[in-house]
Chain A
Amino acid sequence: MRLKGLTLGLAAAVAATGIAAPAVQAADSQYFPLLTYRTGPYAPNGIPFANGTIDYFNYVNLKHGGVNGVKLVWEECETAYNTKKGVECFERLKGKGATVVYPNSTGITYKLIPNAPKDKVVILSSGYGRTDASDGRVFPWVFTAPTTYWSQASAFIKYIGAQEGGMDKLKGKKIALIYHNSAYGKEPIRTLNLLARKLGYKLTTLAVNHPGQEQKATWLQIRRDRPDWILLWGWGVMNQVAIKEAINTGFNLERMIGVWWSGAETDVVPSGAAAKGYKAGTFHAAGGDFPLFHDIKKVVYGAGKGFKDGEKYIGQVLWNRGILTGVITTEAMRNAQKKFGVKRVNGDQMRWGFENLNLTESRLAELGLKGFTKGIKITCADHEGNGPVLIQQWDGKKWNIISDFISPMQEVVRPLIEKSAAAYAKANKITPRKC
């Protein structure tokens, strides 16, 4: 029996290597408010993600003495994945020198966006949040890199088309979307409907209410409709139950693809080996075989500076995603330091750093992440970057990447983004920037 939860908080403090967030920020440090969720029903997802980012910050401090000598300091605030708590956390922490925030929830992202220009805090919502916020002309402070839900939905359709032998073979096929009945879950419907009209497949949408512990009626409808493919847009327990139901009803898991928030180790734990064949989207590699990760083990955990029991998360899907968040942030910060010739950067400078980020594959290799993800290039108008998506598959023990990078259907997604962003601008009396 382990007093794990009790030690988590202590471990978090230890992991901070004594760099507790100062009341007044020192000139040689950069402060990050971290809205994390280590408690509540979504904690199994929140813990590895938060640990990934913190492990990376910790590593940068220990290995390199910070970013160009500027130590990274951070402060966690527990949101329990609750929008109201998340907003309270941000309001409490933003005045301490915050320049970037990761809302870690689509709901919280939506709430923080309207005030972002006033707060002068960059919102980084990698792979979640508002897809139309990728239009940097309307949302200068929001960054969705490296990809979004709409891009992912179109990439899934491209993948399914390829599996069926060509996009023309999609005509007449039946695709069911099982989605979390929330703003997050509804995000892909618009794109999938548009593509259904264009490509001729039949889309059935099946909503599942939070938390998704009981889905019998949904799977009865799957039994009745017998779709050729299922897309799962779930979160938390909804994923585990859906995968289990798919197994128990005999649906071919090779034809079931989860959103990247339905494709972590924690989602397949209750089914284990029986979930073999289940697929999910992602935008980075799975597994721990990268030089950076080996170095984190040595530098952070080897020195006893990591989370208690935290080493087990290294290489897990959500931990890897947390690492990517840390990498994008520090590279943007480095960018800003170089441009403005400063050590600690302010909100405006950080925003510039993000907007001009060009995280090349050779730079990723320098960081010990060769092949971890595709290069990310952000521009003034496009805050999403390249947006490519990978498909991974559970082999019963671990996730493996089984596809090349799939480029989203930009010709479909980008006009949707621009149209939606323009509507937002009009409704909120925003004059889009010229890029």
Chain B
Amino acid sequence: MGEFWEFVLAPVLIFESWQFGMEVVISGLLAGVMYSLVALGFVLIYKASGMFNFAQGVLVLFAALNLAGFIGLGIPIPLAILLTIGVMILFAIVVEYLILRHLVNQEQIILFMATIGLAFFLSAFGETIWGSDVKKLDVGIPQGRFEPFGIQIQYLELTAGAVAAALVTVLAIFFNKTKIGRALRAVADDHQAALSVGINLRTIWIIVWAVSGIVALVAGTMWGAKSGVQFSLSEIALKALPVLILGGFESIPGAIIGGLIIGLGEKLAEVGWGPYVGGAIEDWFAYILAMVFLVFRPQGLFGEKIIERV
């Protein structure tokens, strides 16, 4: 095989050792699940309000900071989790009271800019309350690995996969089978129409921001268990963006499938092609992959195609 074909087929040649190939596949899929956990928070808010929440990454950080902070104060883990959920609900109420209620029916760009401001505030607020030190976050997620058939799998990633599956199931039921869920979807379609049929917009926004905050807590816990809780955690949102582009901004299954495709695609690319081109290609490769999908399906794999009659 010539050098050219060796390069082209590099991601496939990984499977010359099937155990290593499977390790790349499994690691890629499980890394993708970790991205999906972050992407889900974006999807929830976009689905219910048509708003792209720039602050979602900081929300992940803020939730993890509170949890690590409460645990650091000696509060038992279950109570610390409950307290953090309480903080996230309180935060949702404050956001609705101070920001969202004043922006009903505004252009999406106005809502987007409001979340930019929120992101900067929340980041500084978290730092003010809890300090800048790196915090260990141990909520009992098993560390280490096991190796069935010589394929290495890490417990943390496996746990993240299980948690994501459970989370998606709960969210799917919530959105599709409950009255509040249907109301959320109605609000997403048209604020004014939803108001006219008696849906309380303010309550809906509080609920969706609170749920998004709890999803952020789950994502922050998983990522924080890996790297410790620190301010770069907010930058994890950048890993969720290609997932959203690919999966669609308003689809929960899209966030999961998108995450899996991105995770697998970038790992195959990095391990396969990376050594030929100096490495560190996975970040931009994820965006390239997402853009390829965008060209053929602008609304994303699972996004709703918007048809506006003029």
Binding site for B on A (CB under 8 A): 1-6, 38-41, 43-44, 47, 181, 205-209, 211, 213-214, 216-218, 220-221, 223-224, 236-237, 240-241, 244, 247-250, 266, 269-270, 272, 274, 309
Contacts and interface: CB of A to CB of B under 8 A. Distances in A.
A43 B31 contact: no
A5 B132 contact: yes
B174 interface: no
Interface residues of B, number: 50
A78 B34 CA distance: 33
26 contacts: A1-B73, A2-B130, A2-B131, A5-B124, A41-B231, A43-B132, A44-B133, A44-B134, A207-B280, A208-B280, A214-B34, A216-B31, A220-B27, A223-B20, A223-B23, A223-B152, A224-B271, A237-B230, A237-B232, A240-B228, A244-B227, A248-B143, A248-B156, A269-B134, A269-B136, A272-B136
A209 B230 CA distance: 17
A246 to B, nearest CB: 12
Most chain B Cβ neighbours within 10 Å, of A240, A250, A270: A270
A220 B69 contact: no
A207 B227 contact: no
Given A237-B232, A244-B226, A270-B227, A6 B128 contact: yes
Nearest to A244: B226
A247 B20 CA distance: 19
A216 B27 contact: yes
A84 B164 CA distance: 39
Given A207-B280, A220-B24, A270-B136, A43 B231 contact: yes
B143 A44 contact: no
Contacts of B280: 181, 207-209
Given A241-B226, A249-B145, A269-B135, A209 B283 contact: yes
A220 B230 CA distance: 25
Contacts of A223: 20, 23, 152
A157 B175 CA distance: 58
A250 B34 CA distance: 21
Contact of A3 (B129, B134, B275): B129
A4 B156 CA distance: 31
B48 to A, nearest CB: 28
Interface of B: 17, 20, 23-24, 27-28, 31, 34, 69, 73, 124, 127-137, 143-145, 152, 154, 156, 223, 226-228, 230-233, 235-236, 239, 266-267, 270-271, 274-275, 278-280, 282-283
Nearest to B283: A209
Given A38-B132, A44-B133, 6 more contacts: A5-B132, A181-B280, A209-B282, A216-B28, A223-B20, A270-B136
A316 to B, nearest CB: 11
A274 B144 CA distance: 10
Contacts of A216: 27-28, 31, 267
A79 B237 CA distance: 23
Contacts of A47: 132-133
Contacts of A217: 266-267, 270-271, 274, 282
A211 B226 CA distance: 14
A242 to B, nearest CB: 10
Contacts, number: 135
Contacts of B279: 181, 205-207, 218
A40 B28 CA distance: 29
Nearest to B17: A224
A83 B17 CA distance: 44
A334 to B, nearest CB: 34
Contacts of B24: 220
B23 A240 contact: no
Contacts of A247: 143-144
Contacts of B137: 270
A1 B267 contact: no
Nearest to A41: B232
Nearest to B129: A1
A213 B232 contact: yes
B20 A224 contact: yes
Contacts of A44: 132-134, 230
Nearest to B224: A270
A149 to B, nearest CB: 19
A188 to B, nearest CB: 15
B134 A5 contact: no
Contact of A237 (B31, B144, B227): B227
A223 B267 CA distance: 14
A413 B69 CA distance: 46
A272 B225 CA distance: 12
A82 B158 CA distance: 36
Nearest to B157: A216
A177 B73 CA distance: 38
B231 A40 contact: yes
A213 B227 contact: yes
A236 B143 contact: no
B152 A249 contact: yes
A211 B235 contact: yes
B271 A221 contact: yes
B27 A266 contact: no
A414 to B, nearest CB: 28
Contact of A1 (B20, B69, B135, B278): B69
Contacts of B283: 209
Nearest to A221: B271
Contacts of A39: 124, 127, 132, 231
A364 to B, nearest CB: 30
A270 B129 CA distance: 20
B83 to A, nearest CB: 11
Contacts of B28: 216
A221 to B, nearest CB: 6
Most chain A Cβ neighbours within 10 Å, of B69, B127, B132, B236: B132
A217 B282 CA distance: 8
B133 A266 contact: yes
Contacts of A206: 279
Nearest to A312: B133
B131 A270 contact: no
